[in-house]
Amino acid sequence: MIKKIQFSNTARHGLARIIARSGLCSRSQAINWVRQGRIQVNGRRIYNPEQRIATGSSRIEVNGAPLLDVPRIYLAVNKPRGLVTTTRDEHGRATVYQVLEQSGLPWVAPVGRLDQASEGLLLMSNDSAWAAALLEPQHHVIKTYRVQIRGVPEPMAFTQMRKGVVCSGEKLAVAEVSLLRSGGRTAWLDIQIEEGRNRHLRRLLNALNFPVLRLMRIAIGPLQLGNLHRGKWRHLTLDELRDLDHAAGFSRTQKYVWPQGE
């Protein structure tokens, strides 16, 4: 059931933040809407996205309609290679939103990223607070990757991966790494990392002279990619959501709403 968005009666927040927290759109979209004059507060049009609003006593309208609290959506997507993990791409490249075409879902955003050449498990949601908790480095939510590399590492190379290397002023390391199999000139590794810097594994492995040939994310915390086919998506189950909440130390203030038809 869609409800009026609820905040503390005394809380004051920036207008764009309030709109984004409703789950209606991204923060950047909310900023644009405010600047375009599409938002009214208590009958007055507001153009400053950072305008502080008394949320408990204010009537906010978007394009003349009351701002409602959109049911939270939590998706697992098996992202194919070749798609970028952005809402819109300035270079015209295909985005992960092609996977969701004709789904009829409300707006959702990627939780973290997978670069264009990578594939595998990607979470998408309109719950920005939940997404932020999963991405917070101090929460140590492990991401697991299956990686094919050129070359076969010796034990000392695995030690160096765990110890880390400095690339462009950033220390890049893995939490754990194991050799799955090797043959000829390539090897397959299972790698776990706690934080995902930009192109983290590609940069780390390249620095150690093991170019990445294929990179798949197969788990985020306790959530496994499983048998979800490439280019497909599904809703998270209640148990999966609870497990991810626990992994991220996320205290849920809103009841999980089962998708229609589930």
**Residue 157 CB neighbour total at 10 angstroms:** 15
pLDDT of residue 260: 44
Catalytic site residues?
A: 115
Ranges of CATH 3.30.70.1560 domains, the chain: 142-220
Residue 36 has pLDDT above 80, yes or no: yes
Banded pLDDT at 255 (limits 50, 70, 90): low
Banded pLDDT at 256 (limits 50, 70, 90): low
Residue 250 has pLDDT above 60, yes or no: yes
Rg for the chain, CA atoms, rounded: 21
Banded pLDDT at 261 (limits 50, 70, 90): very low
pLDDT of residue 127: 87
Residue 77 has pLDDT above 70, yes or no: yes
What is the average pLDDT across 129-154?
Answer: 93
Ranges of CATH 3.10.290.10 domains, the chain: 3-69
Higher pLDDT, 55 or 150: 150
pLDDT of residue 257: 54
For 106-119, the DSSP string reads ---EEES---TT-E
Q: Which of 136, 232, 226, 146 is nearest to 186 (CA)?
A: 146
pLDDT of residue 60: 87
Global pTM reads 0.80
Banded pLDDT at 11 (limits 50, 70, 90): low
Residue 107 has pLDDT above 80, yes or no: yes
Q: Report the top-level CATH class of 74-137+222-248.
A: alpha beta
Joined tokens for residue 63: 């394009």
Residue 8 has pLDDT above 60, yes or no: no
What is the average pLDDT across 91-114?
Answer: 88
Ranges of CATH 3.30.70.580 domains, the chain: 74-137+222-248
Amino acid occupying residue 81? R
243: left (phi over 0), alpha (psi -120 to 50) or beta: alpha
Pairing of strands 223-224, 212-220: antiparallel
pLDDT of residue 67: 78
Round the average pLDDT of the chain to a whole number and report it: 87
Identify the weakest region by mean pLDDT among 23-27, 84-88, 242-246: 23-27
Q: Report the top-level CATH class of 142-220.
A: alpha beta
Q: Give the C-alpha separation, 177 to 15, whole Å.
A: 45
Instruction: Tell me yes or no: is domain 3-69 CATH 3.10.290.10.
Output: yes
pLDDT tens digits, residue range 172-216? Answer: 999 999 999 998 899 999 999 988 777 899 999 999 999 999 999
What is the average pLDDT across 75-98?
Answer: 89
